[in-house]
Amino acid sequence: MKLLGIGSRIKHAAHGLGVVTNVTSKHYWVTFMDSGLETIDLDESVEVIEAVDGEVDTVSFYEVEKVMKNLLQRWSDLTPTVAIADKWKGGKLVMEPGTPTQSKEVPIDTFFHKIVMVRDRLRVMEQKINASNLDDAEKVELQQYITRIYGSLTTFNVLFKSQSDYFVGEKTK
């Protein structure tokens, strides 16, 4: 049996009408009208409505999406998703005042997101300082302030799932 190319239209006994959207060494990825995306074995019996010839190793939408994400992360100020430590998922931050007034509760995911935004904006500021026309002494001075800010924020490292996402301040010798 000849392999079907991406874009081939088929009819499957259980899933109905569909279009081949990717081909791997063992499966067709088919988007069906009724059941959505399904994988079927290459040797599974299907009625071919319209076969598309061509290379089966054509770039898939998944691969295009992966390349686009990598480009955006590399060349823009967008950052990869940072994961919160599992133990904090669904938790809340409770702030209780020292005076008899109402306490404040914030979903910890919201608080974590704000901490990550602060960290990312500090990184952008750091890049802009390094790329600026300031003289080296001014760059070093501003860099020291940023390092001290990171140091002040290390308390929040407990929220991060991965140590590679931690705030790192000035290291003592």
pLDDT (0 to 100) of residue 18: 93
Q: Where are the beta strands (DSSP E) in the chain?
A: 9-12, 16-23, 27-32, 36-41, 47-50, 92-95, 104-107
pLDDT (0 to 100) of residue 168: 83
Taking the whole predicted model, whether its pTM rises above 0.85 is answered as no
Counting as low any pLDDT under 70, the low residues of the chain are 1, 54-61, 73-80, 170-173
- Least Cα distance to 94 among 78, 81, 107 occurs for 107
pLDDT (0 to 100) of residue 128: 87
Report the alpha-carbon angle 9-10-14, nearest 5. 145
Residues 6+ apart with CB under 8 A from 103: 94, 95, 96, 97
Q: Each residue of 24-60: b (16+ CB within 10 Å) or e?
A: eeeebbbebeeeeeeebeeeeebeeeeeeeeebeeee
Spatial separation of the C-alpha atoms in residues 32 and 10, rounded to whole Å:
9
Token readout for 28 is 């067709």
Beta-bridge partner residues of 115: none
* Identity of the residue numbered 152: S
Q: What is the pLDDT of residues 18-43, one digit of tens each?
A: 999 888 878 889 999 888 899 999 88
Q: What is the pLDDT of residues 123-144, one digit of tens each?
A: 888 888 888 899 999 999 998 9
Q: Where are the domains of the chain?
A: 1-78, 79-165
Spatial separation of the C-alpha atoms in residues 52 and 100, rounded to whole Å:
73
Report the alpha-carbon angle 155-162-70, nearest 5. 125
| Alpha carbon 111 to chain centroid, angstroms | 19
pLDDT (0 to 100) of residue 75: 63
